[in-house]
Amino acid sequence: MSCMTHFLFFVVLFLFVTPAFHNVVVAQGNVPEPEKPSLYVEVKEEKPKIPFFQGFTLSADVYGIVQYLLWDYGGVEGALRLNLKNTFFPIVEMGIGKCDKEEENTHILYKTTAPFARVGIDFNMLKNKLQDNRLYVGVRYGISKYDFDISGPALEDPVWGGAEPFDYRGISTTSHWAEALVGVQVKLWKKLHMGWAIRYRRELSSTKNIYAKPYYIPGYGTTVNSGTLGFTYSLIFDMNWGMKKMKMKIKNEELRVKNEE
């Protein structure tokens, strides 16, 4: 038999024997069948959707009440604030401010009592919008229409002599101002919360008159400087029914998943 004949014989034998041997080994479990690659699909955790309207809060400024009763000037105020998605909080603040102060050096007396109003919005800065506590920043526009009295010692004329009385009553004025603030709200018990805020206020405009500039603007504060700082400490009644429904929905979903397992 020639060399070529032997070569062809071994090739044919190899082709038939090798597949048979492979099938026997795989059947006996000695060589595992290679796994087919599987397609990896990332499953993203679905965040709970927060309904648009969550409720509202009613609040009263305790610090302002103490000022109003014990100091020469201060204001009593309350606020209504809407809750949109636990993120945006449109707000209306209204109150009454008063001032009855005599300047120590000049003995000039300034007196006024009048209402004021502010409108604005707060933004919840915390990442977790579902918790009861909040850290927020906000802006306000304020306005007050008021009359003030200003009086003091008679003004002496250094040239012609004599004295001119310094006593003006019922000077009608309207003032506008802007505010920027940062504050917190903390849950005390059930729907009762407390909150405080630091406010920077800047006067935008006031009615000009020939007698005197207003010393105090209701809802704003004193006008000694171009801007002023304010502080509020409030008790808050939070009617957040949207949050209650959201927590109940999450709890029911967790129970459903647990039962399915």
Q: What is the mean pLDDT of residues 133-161?
A: 89
Above pLDDT 70, what percent of the chain? Answer: 71
Provide the 10 A C-beta neighbour count for residue 149.
14
- Amino acid letter, residue 70: L
* pLDDT confidence tier of residue 26, bands split at 50, 70 and 90: very low
| C-alpha–C-alpha distance, residues 131 and 195, integer Å | 15
* Residues 77, 82, 83, 89, CA torsion sign: negative
> Closest Cα partner for 83 from 249, 250, 253, 238?
238
Chain centroid to CA 46: 25
Of the pLDDT bands very low, low, confident and very high (cuts 50, 70, 90), residue 24 is very low
E strands, the chain, are 53-61, 73-84, 88-102, 109-124, 134-156, 163-189, 192-206, 216-217, 221-222, 227-239
* Residue 219 pLDDT exceeds 50: yes
Average pLDDT rounded to a whole number, residues 50-76: 93
Residue 21, pLDDT > 50, answer no
CB 180 within 8 A of CB 198: no
164-178 core/surface letters (b: 16 or more CB in 10 A; e: else):
eebeeeebebebebb
Q: What is the pLDDT of residues 77-110, one digit of tens each?
A: 999 999 999 999 999 999 999 999 998 888 899 9
Closest CA to 240 of 131, 93, 78: 131
Lowest mean pLDDT segment, chosen from 16-25, 59-68, 128-137: 16-25
Is it the case that residue 197 has pLDDT exceeding 70? yes
Residues in CB range of 135: below 8 A, 6 or more apart: 124, 125, 126, 183, 184
| pLDDT of residue 160 exceeding 90 | no
Considering the chain, what is the average pLDDT of its residues?
83
215 pLDDT tier (thresholds 50, 70, 90): very high
- pLDDT at residue 204 above 90? yes
Average pLDDT over residues 214-230: 94
- In the predicted model, what is the mean pLDDT of residues 176-190? 96
In terms of pTM, does the model score above 0.85?
A: no
Q: Looking at the domain 53-246, which fold is it?
A: Porin (2.40.160)
Nearest residue to 250 via CA among 83, 51, 42, 43: 51
- Lowest-confidence segment of 8-17, 56-65, 200-209 by average pLDDT: 8-17
**C-alpha–C-alpha distance, residues 127 and 22, integer Å:** 60
pLDDT tens readout for residues 31-49: 555 565 555 555 555 666 7
List, in sequence order, every residue forming a beta bridge with 78; answer none if it has no partner: 60, 94
Residue ranges per structural domain of the chain? 53-246
